[in-house]
């Protein structure tokens, strides 16, 4: 076979047909294929290995086929190009068969943009809205591949990291909330694959001066610790404004990027409850913070029934109450609470249901209700039902099991009761309240936030 010049990164092949002696033409030079698939007569020059003889041979031009492009091998990010960054192989994770995030991982020849990777399926944001500078929850699922066991048996670990662009400046380099909340929200956590997602509590590095904005996140599963700036590698030639980034390519794992719409809303809700009464339903809710909040709207069974003015801006929130007296006994009423900001944007905060009772209705069982509001500062109401009259004790304990208050200790009649707990002299934290009456006993938790 003689190789002639070709195109597309390969050479056209010249193959012989004819007598075996034609192979003595192997030292001949053929300039190019003239017409693919056509046999043509070629006269060999005198070959050095055969004295003074010429041989003739038919040769056929077989045009080459360009090689197939190699299969992509790396999973890449899918945020905006700069400055996170999201470049070719920066960040990138080789499809290794060892471990990845979620149920699927795919390879790309170049990054997706604007949150388009369908295999970004490993993270679930449990909290519907995030509040800046407070603890939030999310879950991450890690899946083992066919090579994971050998990887782990060799003493290797998997590391999980996550970042949130809390101030929306195009990178993950900052520390917010007066210097206590870095944008590096999961920090080189050693993890193992599991069929069940793993729960993480993170401090939200959000902006306290903005009402609505999207959450921008990056998660990486790696073979090594990458540190606070391991979300990508600084690349001044590609991203001139990039100021930080130390790690680009890993030989296992996955990178997943998320853009969560309206992660932070104007109102952070503490609690919302619908309390059935005698021919009425009382709605109670409390906010932990409000930003540019114009009003609340109450929807009952699909129709607007009330508007309640909000505080506008309040870092500490407020407790609200509205009584629905236009109800029928024994009917089920479903309520939805919406916030409306100064720009007219509506967001549903919570739902609750209640069935009002008639005058003749009686208590049919012992019940200890959840306190309201919860969280609270510094007072809250605790309601309970007694099936029978008798000695009743209602006490409050701290997390160490120490008694901090006795709210009731005496004879009470059967029926519904409500008492107020004032925690003005107690520190913030979780407290337990316990009801005892006859053979009945129940305990619930409440949260004091000052």
Residue finishing a domain among 222, 245, 263: 263
Q: What is the pLDDT of residues 236-268, one digit of tens each?
A: 888 888 889 999 999 999 999 999 876 776 787
Which residues have CB under 8 Å from 231's CB, separation 6+? 84, 91, 161, 163, 172, 218, 220, 245, 247
Q: What is the mean pLDDT of residues 264-285?
A: 80
Highest average pLDDT, of 205-219, 322-336, 408-422, 433-447, comes from 433-447
Residue 192 lies in a domain: yes
Same domain, 25 and 100: no
Q: What is the mean pLDDT of residues 7-28?
A: 39
Inform me whether the pLDDT recorded for 212 exceeds 70. no
What is the Cα–Cα distance from 72 to 9, expressed in whole angstroms? 19
- What pTM value is reported for the model? 0.54
Residue 361 lies in a domain: no
Residue 360 lies in a domain: no
Helix (H) or strand (E) holding 101: strand 99-101
Residues 163/231, Cβ–Cβ less than 8 Å: yes
Q: What is the pLDDT of residues 95-110, one digit of tens each?
A: 999 999 999 998 888 8
Residue finishing a domain among 235, 263, 291: 263
Inform me whether the pLDDT recorded for 39 exceeds 60. no
Residue 78 lies in a domain: yes
More confident residue, 268 or 214: 214
Same domain, 144 and 228: yes
Q: What is the mean pLDDT of residues 10-18?
A: 41
Same domain, 145 and 219: yes
Same domain, 307 and 420: no
Which residues have CB under 8 Å from 437's CB, separation 6+? 366, 386, 388, 390, 391, 392, 393, 412
What is the Cα–Cα distance from 187 to 366, expressed in whole angstroms? 47
Same domain, 333 and 380: no
Same domain, 232 and 181: yes
More confident residue, 126 or 297: 297
The share of the chain scoring above pLDDT 70, in percent, equals 79
Residue 359 lies in a domain: no
Provide the β-strand partners of residue 419: 382
Neighbours of 423 (CB within 10 A): 20
Residue 69 lies in a domain: no
Torsions phi, psi of 421, nearest 5? Answer: -110, 125
Q: What is the pLDDT of residues 40-50, one digit of tens each?
A: 444 444 344 43
Q: What is the mean pLDDT of residues 264-280?
A: 77
How much is the pLDDT for 265? Answer: 67
Inform me whether the pLDDT recorded for 334 exceeds 60. yes
Same domain, 296 and 181: no
What is the Cα–Cα distance from 266 to 209, expressed in whole angstroms? 10
More confident residue, 408 or 450: 408
Residue finishing a domain among 297, 319, 354: 354
Tell me the residue range of the domain where 52 lies. Answer: 2-62
* Domain harbouring 339, CATH code: 2.60.40.10
Q: What is the mean pLDDT of residues 100-121?
A: 83
Torsions phi, psi of 325, nearest 5? Answer: -100, -5
Residues 246/235, Cβ–Cβ less than 8 Å: no
Same domain, 221 and 273: no
How much is the pLDDT for 433? Answer: 96
How much is the pLDDT for 45? Answer: 44
More confident residue, 130 or 301: 301
Reported confidence tier of residue 373, pLDDT bands at 50, 70, 90: confident
Residue 67 lies in a domain: no
Reported confidence tier of residue 319, pLDDT bands at 50, 70, 90: confident
Considering its fold, how many domains does the chain have in total?
4
Residue 402 lies in a domain: yes
């Amino acid at each position: 076979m003689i190789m002639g010049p070709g195109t597309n990164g390969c050479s056209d092949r010249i193959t012989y047909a004819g007598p075996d002696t034609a192979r003595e033409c192997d030292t001949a030079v053929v300039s190019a294929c003239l017409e693919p698939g056509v046999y043509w007569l070629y006269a060999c020059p005198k070959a050095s290995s055969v004295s003074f003889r010429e041989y003739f041979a038919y040769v056929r031009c077989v045009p080459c086929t360009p090689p197939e492009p190699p299969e992509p091998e790396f999973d890449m990010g899918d945020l905006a190009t700069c400055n996170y960054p999201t470049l070719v192989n920066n960040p990138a994770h080789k499809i290794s068969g060892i471990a990845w995030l979620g149920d699927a991982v795919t390879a790309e020849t170049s990054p997706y943009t604007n949150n388009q990777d369908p295999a970004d399926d490993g993270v679930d944001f449990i909290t519907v809205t995030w509040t800046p500078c407070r603890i939030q929850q999310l879950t991450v699922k890690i899946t083992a591949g066919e090579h994971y066991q050998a990887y782990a048996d060799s003493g290797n670990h998997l590391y999980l990291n996550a970042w949130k662009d809390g101030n929306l400046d195009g990178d993950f380099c900052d520390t917010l909330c007066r210097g206590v909340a870095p944008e590096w929200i999961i920090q080189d956590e050693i993890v193992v694959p599991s069929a069940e997602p793993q729960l993480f509590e993170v401090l939200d590095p959000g902006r306290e001066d903005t009402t609505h904005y999207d959450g921008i996140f990056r998660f990486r599963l790696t073979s090594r610790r990458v540190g606070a700036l391991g979300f990508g590698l600084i690349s001044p030639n590609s991203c001139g404004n990039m100021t930080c980034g130390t790690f680009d390519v890993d030989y296992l794992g996955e990178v997943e990027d998320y853009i969560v719409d309206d992660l932070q809303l104007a109102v952070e809700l503490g609690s919302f409850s619908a309390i059935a009464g005698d021919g009425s339903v009382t709605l109670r809710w409390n906010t932990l913070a409000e930003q540019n909040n114009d009003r609340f709207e109450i929807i009952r069974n699909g129709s607007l029934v009330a508007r309640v003015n909000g505080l506008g801006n309040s870092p500490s929130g407020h407790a609200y109450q509205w009584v629905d007296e236009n109800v029928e006994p024994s009917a089920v009423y479903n309520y939805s609470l919406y916030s409306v900001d100064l720009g007219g944007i509506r967001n549903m905060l919570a739902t609750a249901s209640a069935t009002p009772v008639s005058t003749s209705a009686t208590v049919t069982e012992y019940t200890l209700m959840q306190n309201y509001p919860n969280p609270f500062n510094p007072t809250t109401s605790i309601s309970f039902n007694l099936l029978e009259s008798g000695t009743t004790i209602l006490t409050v304990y701290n997390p160490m099991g120490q008694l901090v208050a006795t709210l009731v200790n005496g004879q009470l009649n059967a029926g519904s009761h409500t008492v107020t707990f004032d925690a003005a002299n107690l520190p913030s934290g979780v407290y337990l309240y316990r009801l005892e009456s006859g053979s009945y006993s129940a305990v619930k938790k409440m949260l004091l936030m000052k």
